Amino acid sequence: MARKTRKAPKAVRIGDRDLLWDYARLARLYGIELLGVSVALVIVSIILEATSEDGWSWWWLGTLVAMTGITGLIFFPLLRVWLRKGGLPSIRLPDAQPAEGPRMLAAAPSDWKRFATLSGVLLFISAFATMLFLIAVLGRGGTAEGVVIAVLLAWGFVTLEDGRRIQRTQADEKRTYWAAGRRPWGAGNRLVFTVSS
């Protein structure tokens, strides 16, 4: 069977309005946001339980901790394997193309702050809605809350690990990978690299 040959990547022209977003930093940002949202959901869950008719109890807290631990132990290895097949940022590195253009600006700290705030809020809202849906289906008691929190924790740790993998790849290849665009939504769809000196 003939071996597939990889075509030489064509350069991507960076437009005047495009920014370059450090791809490894994006992976770390998403990982940290996932961990932060999971901690925020713990706090929100405690507040919701404390203000419910039954009130807060040690039994509820024990169930929450146990479900978080058990689900986390199951989901961390599952997500490491499953996401590595197509859901982690590092999967897209071979698709990166060289960047070219007269004006290639990296995203400024204010751009990062705005993006981190917006993506963090959207992630929290969607995770909170998912948790409320599961509470409505499974009932209160700590089980639904623990499952959602554990999945977010596992996903966050796997994404942070992938961010370190991207950094190692950049160091080995003497390249810096960037998501090109006004905002890095769908970052892997327009992935470019520059050669590090």
How many other CB atoms are found less than 10 A from the CB of residue 96?
21
Per-residue pLDDT, 56: 81
CA Rg, the chain, in Å?
20
Percent over 70 (pLDDT), the chain:
90
What residue segments make up the domains of the chain, in order of their start?
A: 16-97+113-181
Band of the pLDDT at 182, cuts 50, 70, 90? Answer: confident
pLDDT, tens digit, 9 for 90 and up, residues 37-64: 999 999 999 999 999 888 888 999 999 9
Q: Which residues contact 175 (CB under 8 A, 6 or more apart)?
A: 96, 169, 193, 194, 195, 196
Q: Which of 125-134, 162-171, 173-182 has the lowest mean pLDDT?
A: 173-182
Higher pLDDT, 152 or 190: 152
Q: How far apart are CA 104 and CA 101, in angstroms?
A: 6
Position with higher pLDDT, 8 vs 82: 82
Beta carbons within 8 Å of 50's beta carbon, 6+ residues apart: 56
CA distance 44 to 34: 15
Average the pLDDT over 29-33 and give the result. 96
Name residue 176's beta-bridge partners: 194
pLDDT above 80 for 2: no
User: Which pLDDT value is given to residue 8?
Assistant: 52
d(CA 54, CA 194): 58
pLDDT digits (tens, 9 = 90+) for 105-116: 889 999 999 999
Query: Residue 180 in contact with residue 14, Cβ under 8 Å?
Result: yes
| Mean model confidence pLDDT for the chain | 88
